[in-house]
Structures are given as C-alpha cells and as structure tokens.
Structure 1
Amino acid sequence: MERSVRRFPAESRALGAGRTTIALAQASILLFTPASHLFVPVGGAETEVSCTPPVQSLSLYCLAESADRQFLNWVLLALLLIVASGILPRYTTVLHFWASLSIGQSISLPDGGDAVAQVVTFFLVLACANDRRTWHWQRSRTGPRDELRKGSVWQGLAWAGWWGVRLQVAYIYLNSALAKLPVGPWSEGSATYYVARMENFGAAGLLDELFRWTTGITIIALLSTWGTILAETLIAVFLVRRGSRQALAALISGALHVLIIVQIGIVSFGFIMVGAVVCAASRGIDTYAPRFTSLLPRRARGTDGGRAVVGEARPERVGVSGG
C-alpha cells in the first residue's frame, strides 16, 4: 500500500480533464436552463428550497435565501467556469463540491448526473489534496522537494480520494447493469425499442427517425439493449483493474454516453458520467496516453524529422513524466 501511495500521480492532467468535463456539464445546466425551470412546484407543494441542516443548509440557495435565484445561478455558473479553467486545483475542488452540493440539494428537478457529481466532487477534494500546481493542465513536477511530498499525509489523502472515486463510479455502473437484468424489456432485449418511442423521453432531433427505424430491426434492438448492459459491466470491472484497462473503461464510457446523447439527449448527465469515469481512470490514462501519442505520425506528435519542435517536449520525456 505504501508503494502504491507513493506512485500515485497526485498531479494528474487526466484527473484535471475529468474535473473540467464535469464542471462544464454542470455549467451547461445553469447556462441554458432559467431558474424558473429549475425551481418548480412538485406534487402541489410551493416552490421552496429545502434547507434541512446540516447538509442542505450549506447550499448557496439556503445561505442566500432572500437573493434572486437567477442571480444565484449566475454565481454558481461563474464558480463552475473557474473550476473548469483548471486554476489552483487543490483549492477549487472545495468550490466545486460546494457548487455541486448547491445544485444537487436545492433544484426541484435533479437528474442522476447531479447526484453523481455531488459524490464524485466530494472525493475529488481529497484526490487533489496534494496537487500544488497553478493549473491542472501542467505536467507533474519531479524535483527533489516533490519526491519528499509523495511521502506526506496529503499524498495518502489524495490516494484514498482517488480510490473513493474509482469505487463509487464502478459501483454506479455495476448497480445500473444489475438493476436492468430483472426488468422484462431489458432481459428480453427490447428496451431500446421502447425507449426510442417514448413520448417525453424518446429519440429526438435530426436523427430521431433513423433511431426509430434502426431499433425496429430485431438484431439491432437486441445488440443495443444487451450491449448497454455489457458496456456498463465492463466499465465497472475495468475501473477496479490496473493500467490500460482503466483507460479502456474511459473509452467505453465515452462511446456509450455519446450514443445516448445523440439518441435521446440528456447531455449534461452524459458528460458528467464521462468526466467521472475519466477521473476514476486517471492513473491508467496518465500511463497509457503518452504511449498512444508515440504511435501517431511525427508531425502529429509535434516533431519533424526526428527533431522536436520548439516549445514541445520529446515523446520519451512525456512518457517519463506520466502526465
């Protein structure tokens, strides 16, 4: 365990990319949805924000209860854009968790993405506890003082937080896959046929007719239904494995949610899940992304005839730094 903790890349550009993806997905909710649509009467109740202590009372909408909710939306939007920029990750993770808590605990019509973001950003506060960079897009530092920092208690907290993200996200996907098995349309292989034809939650947009037609073909309906269950299971299993399997989990998650977004929408939810998987798979991505880059043509890697272009690191240096 000590060896694993010291080897953990607390300064990870992959983890930063996941954080940015989650923050931008949340920002899209506040940017494109007015407060009048986020705070609505539910079940005949008044449009009120629950401020039950200790958790819900920490929401911005409770701390500034008398303020205009649209103005508070803009405040949270600004915070999320600051987080997405990658500045001071060790500190902005706290702001990110607070923004996620405010959204997930206060709006009237949350979706699964809000709940996932709330839990994942909590663990990210720990996972970024030893990240001393100015921007999370910078390479990890490897000086003598940085080596000493790898034995600090902050490094242990960061390692534990990253494991929290891995286990939580893996559980979400495994639970989703297993919960589908006893449901008739999923076990029979016809779920995507019915989902594409739901009145309020079906295929929409430019490709709605295409998806209705393709899901009407039996073999495609079977493959897309059971393929969803298989993809979720593989993501869960690969996230708790090592190395390249973690990176593969991120690729499967990206493909799965992009297809769902194109077919039925739920854009913010899809990108929150992709960002969460990238955070959970960050160590594998940090390790294998440079190896993938080394397979690209020289010009795509920023080299010309074996000479590095000014301002670019050589591929082998990138591999050593590990992200």
Structure 2
Amino acid sequence: MSAPLISLGRMVHRAQLHDPRNRWFGAGRSLLAAAHITVLAFTAPAALLAPILGDEQAPHCHGVTAVSAYCVGGEAISQQWRRWLMVAILVVVASGYRPRWTAVPHAWVAFSIGNSIALPDGGESVAKIVTVLIIPICLADNRTWQWQAPRSPIAASLRTMSFVAFWAVRVQIAGLYLDSAISKLGVADWVNGSAEYYFVRGHMFGVAPPFDDLWLRLTEIPIVVFSMTWGAIIIEILIALCLMATSKWRRVGFVMDILLHGMIIVTMGLWSFATIMIASSCVAAMPDRRTPLADSPSDSDANADAAASVDVEAKPFATVPAGLREA
C-alpha cells in the first residue's frame, strides 16, 4: 500500500480515537489563564494602559477591538471594574469549571488583553490565538470539571472538530518556534554567538533580580555567551520538530520548552510570557492516547481490561476495540 494512503489511514484512525479530555489539556488551559491572572491582578490598569510615545492612547477600541473587555460600555464602566471582571473569568477558567461554557469568555479576555493594552508582548499575541484555536476542543468537553475522568463518549462531529483544532495548535506552536529560530539566523549577533551578551544588558528587558549579578558575570565568558546564544536557536528548532512528531517526542519537546522558558524566567523574568509559552506547548504535546469508554453502563465490567490506553502510533489500521466509541 502506498505511503500516502498509510499516512491517511493513520490520521483517520487517530481522529477516531481522539479524546482531548485529559490532564495535559486541562493543565495547559489553566496555565494560560493563570498567566493572564498575574498580568491583571498584579498590574494596575493605569500601567497597562499607559500612553506610549508615538501611539494612540490605550485602550485601543477601534474596529473589531471595540468588542474588547476594555471597551464595551464606554466610559460608564471604570477600568478597575473591567480588570476584576476579567480576573474573575480567568479564575473560573483556571479552576477547570465547565470548559465548554468558559472557552469563549476565555478567548474574549485574551483577545482584550492582546489588542487593547498599550504594550502587549509576544505572550499576549500567542495567547489570543491559542485560546481561539482550543475553542472546538473545549466544546467537545461536556464535563463539569476538566479534572474529572470522562464518563461519556464524544459525538463524532465534535471529535473531528477537536482533532483538527489539536493539529492547528501543534502546527501554530511548532511554526512559531521554527520561525523564531530561522529569523535569528539572519541577525549577525545571533550567528556570531554574542546576542545573549547584549540581551542580558538590554534596557527594555535585561537580567532580572535576584540572579542579575551572576548572569552579568557569566556572560562575560565567551564560551558561556556562545552556548546560551546558539543553545536557544538549537532548542527552538528541536521543540518545533518534536511537537510535530509522535506522542513520545512531543513530551520530549515539552520538557525542552520548560527548560528554555525556565531559563528565560531565571535570567530576564518575563513570567507571563514564559508561562503562556509553556502552557501552549503543554496543549500541543497532548498524547495520542485515550481511555476507552464502555458502550453502555452494563458493559463497564466486561470492558475493564479493554480500558487500557490505546497507542494509535503502533497499528494504524488496527480494529478499534469494542469498548471504544468510533466517530
């Protein structure tokens, strides 16, 4: 059988077995919300909306951004009320309550932060995209809490939409890391291995306490600077490749993502950015496994042994066990 048909068969089989209701997705989604909670709860609205030289006064409410949480209702609603409304929504999302019903409000808050504050960073841009992409995944989740074990199968249409959304997240995050790595190769300081020397001494970000003195001293050593600079490029490429590979390699990519952004936190701070990137990679690294659900309550005991996780990598055309609900 030709390779394209085999690959198509594997993809169809994975779609039939796909069930995103696992702790990987729950943890990633909660981390996304937690990152924005830190931004809103610990930063006053006046700071987030501070005027930037050469830019219009925030919040930005023109065009489609008029639906932002910072804009709806106009001046009749204070920015403090808006702030705590968004925090309340994010707390509910982070708790894991009713993913199906909190998906759109979560995306609305991420959109509002990413488009209306004066100076959003790269993490805000990623969050507003990922929270939209995971809406179909959340719609497939009818549980009260995302931490509960699923008790009913997913409808075929919702499962298909969720599977496509899962792949969209993987492609988006993998593409982001690959683009970041490749773009660095066009900058002389990255190619010659000195970029990190200037980054840790930058006026906009730079090193953050309590390890600032340590990093300033370490980056005076040429081999350390070279290793940090090229290490960042290499690990970004590896993360991109791993997130497009099998479940095993996606987990490896996720570990590398934690190491990369953990180093960013230790050196420069940037907690919310690093948390958003780790959370997005957690969603993209979801395993291709699920626990089969019994066809009916009476079948539960009979299918107990069949409830082991199914590895869809091994047999692309294997018959789906009786305990599995097919799309």
Q: TM-score range by the shorter chain?
A: 0.7 to 0.9
Aligned residue runs from structure 1 range 1-323, under 5 A: 1-44=11-54, 47-53=57-63, 55-66=64-75, 67-141=77-151, 146=153, 149-150=154-155, 152-283=156-287, 320=309
Using the size of structure 1 for normalisation, the TM-score is 0.84
Q: 1:51 to 1:85 in 2, by over 3 A?
A: same
Question: Could you tell me the percent identity over the aligned residues?
Answer: 36
Displacement, 1:64? 2.2
| Separation of aligned partners in 2, 1:74 and 1:168 | 30
Instruction: Tell me whether 211-220 or 243-252 shows the greater mean CA deviation.
Output: 211-220
What's the Cα RMSD here?
A: 1.9
Instruction: Tell me whether 172-181 or 132-141 shows the greater mean CA deviation.
Output: 132-141
Q: 1:101 to 1:200 in 2, by over 3 A?
A: closer
Q: Which residue of 2 aligns with 1:291?
A: none
| Separation of aligned partners in 2, 1:46 and 1:274 | 32
The code of the aligned residue for 1:239 comes to L
Displacement, 1:129? 2.0
Q: 1:106 to 1:14 in 2, by over 3 A?
A: same
**Secondary structure at the residue paired with 2:146?**
coil
Q: Which residue of 1 aligns with 2:314?
A: none
Gaps of 5+ in 1: 288-315
Q: Is the 8 A contact 1:139 1:321 kept in 2?
A: no
The code of the aligned residue for 2:309 comes to V
The code of the aligned residue for 2:129 comes to V
| Separation of aligned partners in 2, 1:6 and 1:86 | 25
Using the size of structure 2 for normalisation, the TM-score is 0.83
| Separation of aligned partners in 1, 2:261 and 2:55 | 34
Regions of 4+ moved over 4 Å: 316-319
Deviation per CA, 1:40-69: give whole Å up to 9, x if none. Answer: 11235553433233x312211221222111
Instruction: Tell me whether 33-42 or 44-53 shows the greater mean CA deviation.
Output: 44-53
| Separation of aligned partners in 2, 1:45 and 1:203 | 27
- In the alignment of these two chains, the number of paired residues is 286
Deviation per CA, 1:100-129: give whole Å up to 9, x if none. Answer: 011111101100111100000001101222
Displacement, 1:140? 3.3
